[in-house]
Structure formats: structure tokens, C-alpha cells
Amino acid sequence: MNKKEFLNLGKQPIANGFLTEGNFNSEFFYDLSVGLDEDTKLVTHMDYVKPELMFNDTYAYRGSMSKTMRDHFSETSELLRKHLSDKPRVLEIGSNDGVFLKNWDKDTTIAVEPCSNFAKETNDLGYLTYDGFWTKQLSETIVEENGWMDLIFAANCICHIPDLDQTFAAIENTLTDHGFFVFEDPSLVKMINENSYDQIYDEHPHIFSITALKTILERNGLTIVRVDNTPVHGGSNRIWVQRTMFAKPDESVENNLTHERIIGLDDPYTFERFANKVSDSKTDLVRLLSRCVDSGKKVISYGATSKSTTVFNYCGIGPDLIQYITDTTPEKQNKFSPGVHIPIVKPEGNFDNSVDFAFLGAWNFAQEIRNKESEYTGKFITHVPVVRIV
Ligand code: TYD
């Protein structure tokens, strides 16, 4: 690759590495800098964090923690079924706690998951789950033991994998002739338009444009046939792919490529401008939180997200500005946030009207949170698309 750095978000810890006090001194940090690959126009980290440091048997993120995502995967499954035969063979790469799998038949659906705690959970549910990283070698074992797949699905997983060529070649190897590979990941268009720089963290070594994916998929015998822009995770793309020989792209592909050209996703200047806006966002957020605290207000954060790991570490926001973070995930509660060590607590008894301001760490679920917290009389603070009280 021929990468040119455009943004540096400083020293960052493992974004989902929630920790106890005893582990503060041994915490791992790396330099988070992002570049544009001049050959493919891929937005990608300058250096990749080793996958084993992030995806292991203590992985804390559960996809099923929000109704929005549970509903999203049930609707996505309905949509996919319309394009498949009666009893399709389905493989999910990166199945997490089974939030997508649960919509499919156990006899014909298998999964791959490198976080052993979750691989065990979905094996126990009855879905054969291979406990490992998606590689060419594992794909060969899967084909040998299960045959080719009619659908390969991956949500918020492909953008986690440093080596995209190996990933796509292994997928090409595993699909039936007319099979679909469908994957969802955060959209680079949305990140640039909304200034949501917190989509960038260790687990997201790439933020995908359709432009870059087209080149990388095509050199591995695969072609994009459809793109759906979805609102989840602050704006994602659901990308449908087939073997090049059998692919018939619809107009959504060209429409997305044209839109990306218009907003300049192949132009280094777009990314320079983005980096300047990120720096302004930091100044504005620290200023706003400091004013709240200096006025004696109680400020907390809502949702211990990976995204907020990026924000807090980049902006230097610690327990002096945010008293604590509430989160519904049992694996995160009673631990500290990565890097800046803000305590994480259960929402019950901690999110009430004694809170004056709650920073939306989970801004992507703002609507679900507002519906749930309709009795809350305090205010929310967000930094997307601009720092403000809402
Ligand atoms: P998400 O935005 O998917 O996180 P990431 O940036 O890591 O991809 O995660 C949302 C987090 O917020 C998750 O830990 C669950 C938590 N959460 C709550 O605590 N309460 C809520 O009402 C919702 C919707 C999420």
C-alpha cells in the first residue's frame, strides 16, 4: 500500500479493553494515525494493532444490547431471505453473541468467531461456531466439512480485518456460484459528513468507501451488486457482493460511486479538511464539559462505547470532567474505561434527575435512549455532527 497519513488521534488504548484498577499499570497503548492509500483510496490505519490483543476470550462488546440492533438484524434477515433459495446454507463471520444468527435455522447456519467467550455462547445455542479468525485455511476447512455457502454475512466485522485481500479471496473460495456475500460496516461518507471521527479506533483499521471496496473486491474475483445505505451505527453501508462471473450490479452501486466522487472521497484535500474539523471538535468539547463542571454541574456519560474511548483519549477527558459512565453491558460494569479510567456503573440508580448533563457516548442510539429516558429532566451533550447540548 501507498499510504499517506492525514490524521493522528494520539496514544490510544484497546477500545473495548475495560479494566480493573489492578491492571492500570500494564495497559497497552498504541499510536492511532490514519492515512489514505493512494492506490485504492482506502482509508486505513498507518499501523495495525494485533487482532489477538482485541479479539480474545474477554471481549466485552455484545451486539444484542440495543433494541435497535436486534430489530435491525431481524429485518435484515427477512430481506436476505427474499433473495435466497428455500433452505440456504448460511455462514456468519464474526457472530458475536448471536444477534444475527438467532434469526436463522440452526441446521443450516454456521459461524466463525475469534472471541472464545462468544464462540462458546453460540455453540451452546446450537449454531456450529468455529472458534478462530477468518483465514484462507479456515475457509478451506469449512468448505470441506460443510460444503459451499449460499450466503456469507458479516456485520461490523470485515472492517476489523487488516488483510482484506486474504479475507475476500477466502470468501470467494467459500461461496456457491450464485451465492451472496453481504456485509455491513460504518460508512466513510457518513463519517466525513457528520465529523464522527470516533468511528476510528483499533477495531476499525479501515473505514470503507464503496470506491475502495470495488477495487479490492474486484481483484479477488468479486463484484458489488447492490449497496443499501442504512442508519445503524451512525450510518452504515450494507454491501451485496457476488462472484464477478455471475454479477449483475443494480443502479445503487453507480449512484454511491458517483456520490463519493462528488464529495471527494478520492481527494487528499477532503481528508485534510476533515482532520481540521476533528481538531476543532476536540477544543469545543473540552471547553463545553469544563464549563459545565466549573459551574458545579453533574456530568456523566451514557454508553461505554468504543467510540467514546477514542473521544476521551484523544481529547484528554477523564474523571475530572465525566464522573462516571453508565452502561447496560454486564461485562463492562464495575470496570474502568480504557486509557482515561472513568468508572463504569449500572444505569439503575446512577442515571436519574441528579444528573445535569449526560454525554452521549452512544450517540448512534440517541433516539432509543431518548425514548427510554423520557422522564430525564437533565440535558444530553453530543459531539456529532458538532459539539452541542441537545
Ligand atoms: P455501540 O454504539 O454499538 O458501541 P461501539 O462504539 O463500541 O461500537 O454500543 C452502545 C453501548 O451503549 C453498549 O455498550 C450498550 C450501551 N447502551 C446502554 O448502556 N444503554 C442503552 O440504552 C443503549 C441503547 C446502549
pLDDT tens digits along 295-349: 999 999 999 999 999 999 999 999 999 999 999 999 999 999 999 999 999 999 9
Total-model pTM: 0.96
Confirm or reject: Cβ of 109 under 6 Å from ligand 1.
no
Give the nearest ligand 1 atom to 156 CA. Answer: 8
Distance 271 CA to ligand 1 centre (A): 28
pLDDT the model gives residue 259: 98
Question: pLDDT confidence of 382, banded at 50, 70, 90?
Answer: very high
pLDDT the model gives residue 78: 98
Radius of gyration of the chain (CA): 21
pLDDT the model gives residue 238: 98
> Going by CA atoms, what residue is nearest to atom 22 of ligand 1?
369
Distance 173 CA to ligand 1 centre (A): 35
Confirm or reject: Cβ of 307 under 6 Å from ligand 1.
yes
Question: pLDDT confidence of 218, banded at 50, 70, 90?
Answer: very high
Confirm or reject: Cβ of 322 under 6 Å from ligand 1.
no
Q: Across residues 260-276, what is the average pLDDT? A: 97
Helix (H, G, I), strand (E, B) or coil at 149: strand
Distance 327 CA to ligand 1 centre (A): 7
Q: Which domains does the chain have, with CATH numbers?
A: 3-34+269-389 (3.40.50.720), 40-266 (3.40.50.150)
Give the nearest ligand 1 atom to 369 CA. Answer: 22
Q: Which residues contact 224 (CB under 8 A, 6 or more apart)?
A: 210, 213, 214, 217, 239, 240, 241, 247, 249, 253
Extract the C-alpha cell encoding 37: 492509500
Q: What angle do CA 357, 359, 364 make, to 5 degrees?
A: 135
pLDDT the model gives residue 305: 97
Give pLDDT tens digits for 32-67: 999 999 999 999 999 999 999 999 999 999 999 999
Give the nearest ligand 1 atom to 332 CA. Answer: 14
